[in-house]
Structure formats: structure tokens, C-alpha cells
Amino acid sequence: MTGLLTFGETMGVVAADTIGRLEHARGFTFGIGGAESNVALGVARLGGDAVWIGRIGPDAAGDLIEHRLRAGGVRAVTIRDTSFTGLMVKHRRTGSVLHVDYHRAGSAGSRLAPADIPVETVREASILHVTGITPALSDTARAAVFQAVETAQAAHVPVSIDINYRSKLWSRYDASPVLMDLITRADVVFAGPDEAALVVDGPPLKGLAALGPSEVVIKDGARGCEALIGGEHYALPALSVTVVDPVGAGDAFVAGYLTERLAGAGADSRLRTAIAAGAFAVTVPGDCEGMPSREDLGLLVAASDNVAR
């Protein structure tokens, strides 16, 4: 294969469609979400080649994950497990506060193991992308991440990691040494300012770059992004958009950057596409539903009329 290879847990997503306490919600939507599959979908929708590997349960949520990923252009390698597909439950406690609960302990996705990630598939990839979520799921999932990264390193396949710290999955104390180890093996690292503070003190760009990655990108939401790429410093502002759902914006950003990297684009083009993809994603509800196509990105260009005719 050529293109992006990633793996991890994708869940069913139950989202209340009203603002307030979950107990008062009367309507819900059901979709899918997972950091790694979000990135794979984002890359595919932008015209790149993406493979996602993961375990799913023998249930309707597993069926939906398989269907959505393949329909979205991702080459999904789904391993049917006897355990259930994990669930994420989202509701807006207020108009500006999003609350997320996970139901994933013992799930099919958490049972990912090193044998699930074929060595040859890793060796043939153009880039391997992992996150800090998968190592938090289980010992076997953590082993799968490290084995894949070590295989990629040996085969000179670039390794990308998004720190993606989730406090509901593990403590900062437990996460820090694992993330530090992964970052020292990576070529590209993505992090928010608070996530960078898990592993480095002081300025995040220089601190993370000192660990070894040649490309460090700090995602800072409405403040845009900063990057240190090949020793050059970049800073881009965010685009002004109306935020409907912030979940998935970081994954869209990563997808935009990695798609352009796979296409051989320069650092400035990678970051501009990343910023645009992240901005587009927050304008659409859902974890991955807002992943844009190249044509969609053109809709962000300022115009006097917001009606596409």
C-alpha cells in the first residue's frame, strides 16, 4: 500500500440534540467517532489514500462503523470481536460546554493486539499515524502501538503521533512516560498547549522538537497554530467560523496536514489546509461528519452570499 496507515478504537456516538441535562433530552442522533478513523476519513475525503485497522463488535454499532468508513473511501480492515463496540455519549450541558462520557472498558476496540497490525502493511505505508488514546485502552493495545512504531522506524516509514490526551482514560502520571517514549520515536508530532505540558516544560515547540521529531505542530483552536518544521518557525491564525460542534476539529486539522504531506506539499501548504479543514469541521455536528472535501474547503472563502447556487 501507499498512503496513511492508522489504527485504534472507533465507537458508536450517541448525541443529545438539545442543550441541557441529559435526563431532559428527548431526541438523539447516532453516529461514529474515533480519533484515528476520523483522521483516515479526513485524508480520504481530501483525496488521499488511507487504511484504518480496528476491532469492532458483533452489533449494529460495529456494522455502522464498517459501512461508514468504507463508504467514506477508507480501506477499513475490521476485525470482528466477540465483545461489544464501545460507545460515546455526548450532550451539551450549556451552549458552550460539551460533556462526553465513554463506555469502552472491555470493548472490542480495547482488545486490539500486536497481531492485528500486519508487519508488511506497516512497512509498505507512506506514513504511520498513531495517537495517545490507543495506548491508554489496554496493555495489548499499547503493545500494538509500540510494535507498529518500531516496525515503521526499522522500515524508514515516517511516524506521526497526535498526543490526544484523554483524562478519563488515564492519569497524567501514567500517560507522561508513555507519550514521551512515543514522541522520541516520531517524525511528526501534534499537540495542544496543555498536552505538550504533559511531557515538556517551557515553550512547547522547542521542547517537543528537542525530543527528536523534525515536525512539531501545536494546535491551539481559535488561536490558530504554530509549528517548527525542518527548523523553520510558522504561525497561522485560525479562520473565523461559527462553531456548531468542536469535536473532531483536531482530527480534521491532522488529516489536512498529513494529506498535504503525503502529496509532497510544502510546510505552509500543509498548515493552511490543516487550518481550513479544522475550521470546516467545527461548522458541522458530529465527530467525523464534518470532514471536508477539497471542494468543501472552497466554501470557507469569504463571500457576500452564503447560498451556494
Three-state SS letters, 100-126: EEEECCCCCHHHCCHHHCCHHHHHCCC
Catalytic residue, candidates 187, 251, 287, 296: 251
pLDDT given for residue 303 in this prediction: 42
Is the pTM of the predicted complex or chain greater than 0.85?
yes
* 206-248: pLDDT as tens digits: 999 999 999 999 999 889 999 999 999 999 998 888 777 777 7
In a domain, 306, yes or no: no
In a domain, 305, yes or no: no
CATH of the domain at 76: 3.40.1190.20
Calculate mean pLDDT across residues 33-42: 96
* 96-113: pLDDT as tens digits: 677 788 889 999 999 999
DSSP 36-89: HHHHHHHHHHTT--EEEEEEE-SSHHHHHHHHHHHHTT-EEEEEE-SSPPPEEE
Alpha helices in the chain (DSSP H): 35-45, 60-71, 119-123, 139-154, 172-185, 193-196, 204-209, 249-262, 267-281, 294-297
pLDDT given for residue 39 in this prediction: 97
pLDDT of 119 higher than 60 = yes
pLDDT given for residue 307 in this prediction: 41
Active site includes 268?
no
In a domain, 288, yes or no: yes
pLDDT given for residue 24 in this prediction: 76
pLDDT of 79 higher than 70 = yes
Domain containing residue 248: 4-294
pLDDT of 161 higher than 50 = yes
Which of 36-50, 71-85, 279-293 shows the lowest per-residue confidence on average (mean pLDDT)? 279-293
Is pLDDT larger for residue 28 or for residue 235? 235
Cβ atoms within 10 A of the Cβ of 114, count? 16
Number of independent structural domains in the chain:
1
Rounded-to-integer distance, Cα 275 and Cα 234, Å: 13
pLDDT given for residue 301 in this prediction: 61
Q: 37 with 62: CB under 8 angstroms?
A: no
In a domain, 302, yes or no: no
In a domain, 299, yes or no: no
* 244-262: pLDDT as tens digits: 777 778 999 999 999 999 9
Rounded-to-integer distance, Cα 51 and Cα 128, Å: 10
In a domain, 307, yes or no: no
In a domain, 309, yes or no: no
Task: Indicate if the alpha-carbon torsion angle 252, 267, 129, 215 is positive or negative.
Answer: negative
In a domain, 145, yes or no: yes
pLDDT of 296 higher than 90 = no
Q: 60 with 32: CB under 8 angstroms?
A: no
